[in-house]
């Protein structure tokens, strides 16, 4: 029996599944409200983790990834896997955000610093992809999904070489990449910051140690959880895109509501367990 890999992913939404997911999300938030005694630090951290996960899932939809055909100049986008490229950008952003958090700069500054770090990495990567295509391979950028680039108004069809679906990084894909990197870095740093605050507050009592001594443990725990949750949400979003997308101008982008609901619920489950590690 031969089963050829089909690009799966049905179109449309499953209302029952969506409703169940929202119910699950509300149930977990409600349980957390009761468990953690109202609007406390721990509860706020859970909300932050849920939001961060959804931001990651949403941001992955912006990143232009062409997969294997892009490596041959057959389709536009970056020639890497979408989940791992988003992870690379998000983690580079997390690096910068963690630096800012360590310098005690507060939630907003750390999170935005993380976002800018992710956006910067994607900007440099996308720039070099364009430079390679232009100066190294002599191929202009062309999109295969739209007739006219939505941001610059450049026509695309005549710059597409024969037999291909487009190549390179049209400007909208570049912009999409930067936005995706920003949202990924933002979400990842938000998860990290929230968990860090919970662990810094709860671990000293748990381990009978001073607050300053457990900082390395809190940082490391929050870091590995942030990476783990980032990857789960990025892979779920990658399943939604079925592997390749040109960015926000791709018709596949309209699928993002499903991913938002899925990542919200998945982040809620993972988040409450992550918080319970210290708060149990």
Partner 1 sequence: MVENIVIGIGITAFAGALASVAGAAEDVESDIGSQGDPNSQVQLAPQMGYVHRIFNKAISGEPPAWGLWVALGAGLAAAFLQVNVNPILALALGCVIATLVQGVYATTAYLGRMASLAKFGQPVYIDILKSMTTVTMAHAFIAIFTSVTMCYLMNAALGHPFPLALLGLIWGIALGAAGSATGNPIYGKERQYQSQKFGAGVPVAASGTIVRYAEAGERNSLDNGWFAAKLGGPWSGICFGLIVFLELWRTVLFEPFWAGWGAIFVGLILILIFTFIDRYAEVWARETFGPYAKPEGAAK
Partner 2 sequence: MTVKVEKIEGGTPHNTIMWAGLLATLVCIYLGAGLNTMFNAFTFSFFGGLAAVAAIIWGSDTIKTLCSYGIGTGVPSVGMISLGSGVIAMLIATRFSWYLAPIVLVIVAVIIGAIIGYMANDVIMMKIPVMRSSMTEVAVIGGLMLMGFAQMATSSYSLVHLVSTQTSLLGLPVAGYGGSFIGASIITVAFILGAIAVQHPFNATLGPSWQQDRMLMLAAECGFLSIIPVAFMSIAYLSVPAVIVSIVVSVAGWFYTYYQYLCLSKRDAAAWLDAKPIREPEGH
Q: Which residues bind partner 2 (CB under 8 A)?
A: 1-14, 16-18, 20-21, 24, 68, 81-84, 87, 203, 206-207, 209, 213-214, 216-217, 220-221, 223-225, 227-232, 234-236, 238-240, 242-243, 258-259, 261-263, 265-266, 269-270, 273-274, 276-277, 280
Which residues are within 8 A (CB) of 129 and not within 5 positions of it... i.e. 6 or more apart? 78, 168, 169
Identify the residue whose tokens are 């490391």.
220
* Comparison of 157 and 224: residue with beta carbon closer to partner 2: 224
Q: How many CB atoms lie within 10 A of CB 149?
A: 19
Provide the minimum distance between the beta carbon of 42 and partner 2 in the complex, in angstroms, as a whole number.
15
Structure tokens at 42: 């721990």
- Left (φ > 0), alpha (ψ -120 to 50) or beta: where does 8 sit? beta
* Comparison of 62 and 171: residue with beta carbon closer to partner 2: 62
Which residues are within 8 A (CB) of 209 and not within 5 positions of it... i.e. 6 or more apart? 203
Structure tokens at 134: 């232009």
Provide the minimum distance between the beta carbon of 98 and partner 1 in the complex, in angstroms, as a whole number.
6
Which of 57, 59, 67, 180 is in the footprint of partner 1 by CB under 8 A?
Answer: 67
**Core vs surface per residue 216-244: b (16+ CB within 10 A) or e:** eebbebbbebbbebbbbbbbbbbbbbebb
Which of 42, 59, 165, 229 is in the footprint of partner 1 by CB under 8 A?
Answer: 165
Burial class (CB in 10 A: 0-12, 13-18, 19+), 261: buried
The answer to whether 278 contacts partner 1 (rule: CB under 8 A) is no
Provide the minimum distance between the beta carbon of 174 and partner 1 in the complex, in angstroms, as a whole number.
5
* Comparison of 32 and 196: residue with beta carbon closer to partner 1: 196
* Comparison of 57 and 120: residue with beta carbon closer to partner 2: 57
Provide the minimum distance between the beta carbon of 211 and partner 1 in the complex, in angstroms, as a whole number.
14
* Comparison of 57 and 177: residue with beta carbon closer to partner 1: 177
Provide the minimum distance between the beta carbon of 127 and partner 2 in the complex, in angstroms, as a whole number.
25
The phi and psi torsions of 71 (rounded to 5 degrees) equal -70, -10
Nearest to 146 by CA among 246, 71, 242, 254: 246
The answer to whether 26 contacts partner 1 (rule: CB under 8 A) is no
68 to 107: interface string for partner 1, x by CB under 8 A: xxxxxxx---xxxx--xx-xxx-xx-xxx-xxxxxx-xx-
The answer to whether 152 contacts partner 1 (rule: CB under 8 A) is yes
Name 142's bridge partners.
167
Contact between residue 181 and residue 87 where contact means Cβ atoms under 8 Å apart: no
């Amino acid at each position: 029996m031969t089963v050829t890999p089909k690009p799966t992913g049905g179109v449309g939404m499953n209302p029952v599944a969506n409703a169940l997911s929202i119910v699950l999300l509300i149930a977990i938030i409600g349980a957390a409200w009761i468990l953690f005694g109202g609007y406390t630090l721990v509860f706020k951290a859970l909300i932050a983790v849920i939001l961060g996960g959804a931001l990651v899932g949403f941001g992955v939809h912006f990143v232009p990834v062409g997969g294997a055909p892009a490596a041959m100049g057959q389709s536009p986008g970056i020639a890497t896997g979408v989940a791992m490229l988003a992870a690379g950008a998000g983690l580079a952003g997390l690096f910068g955000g963690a630096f800012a958090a360590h310098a005690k700069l507060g939630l907003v500054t750390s999170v935005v610093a993380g976002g800018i770090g992710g956006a910067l990495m994607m900007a440099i990567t996308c720039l070099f992809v364009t430079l390679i295509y232009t100066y190294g391979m002599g191929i202009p950028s062309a999109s295969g999904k739209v007739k006219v680039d939505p941001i610059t108004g450049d026509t695309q069809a005549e710059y597409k070489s024969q037999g291909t679906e487009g190549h390179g990084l049209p400007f909208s894909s570049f912009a999409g990449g930067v936005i995706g990197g920003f949202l990924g870095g933002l979400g990842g740093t938000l998860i990290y910051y929230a968990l860090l605050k919970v662990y810094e507050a709860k671990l000293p009592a748990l381990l009978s140690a001073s607050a300053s001594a457990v900082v390395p443990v809190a940082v490391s725990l929050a870091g590995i959880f942030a990476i783990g949750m980032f990857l789960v949400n990025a892979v779920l979003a990658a399943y939604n895109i079925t592997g390749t997308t040109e960015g926000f101008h791709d018709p596949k982008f309209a699928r993002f509501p499903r991913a938002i609901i899925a990542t919200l619920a998945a982040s809620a489950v993972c988040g409450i367990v992550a918080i319970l590690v210290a708060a149990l």
